[in-house]
Amino acid sequence: MAIRNAALAQNKKKFTLKQASHGFALLNMTTAELGAAALNDPFSRYYTRAYVGMTQINGGILQQYNNATFGDEITDISEYPKMSQFFESVLEPAVGVSVM
């Protein structure tokens, strides 16, 4: 219990809030600082790396889609099946599991 309380006290000092101009409280660190803190924490490290990996994969897939469609936006619901088929066919090899 003492070890847990010491770690909790350290985290309370590290993760503080600040007041933002729009009235909501924000974490009192930059995105880079939060990323570094998450990667230094043994528990958060695994989930942070998985999240970053998925966002990188998703960014690459979106780029492939934009290249294939020349960045055209969907203007009609009839175009949705074609887009859905594209993402299903690309996600499975990228993620390694069936998305259907």
Is a pLDDT exceeding 90 seen at residue 95? no
Cβ neighbors of 38 (< 8 A, separation 6 or more) are 44, 45, 47, 48
What 3-state DSSP class applies to 52? helix
Instruction: Give the pLDDT band of residue 9 (cuts 50, 70, 90).
Output: very high
Residue (of 23, 32, 93, 31) closest to 61 by Cα position: 93
Is a pLDDT exceeding 70 seen at residue 97? no
Is a pLDDT exceeding 60 seen at residue 100? no
The pLDDT tens digits for 35-90 are 999 999 888 999 999 988 888 888 888 898 889 888 888 888 998 898 888 888 88
**pTM tops 0.85, yes or no:** no
pLDDT of residue 47: 92
Instruction: Give the pLDDT band of residue 2 (cuts 50, 70, 90).
Output: very high
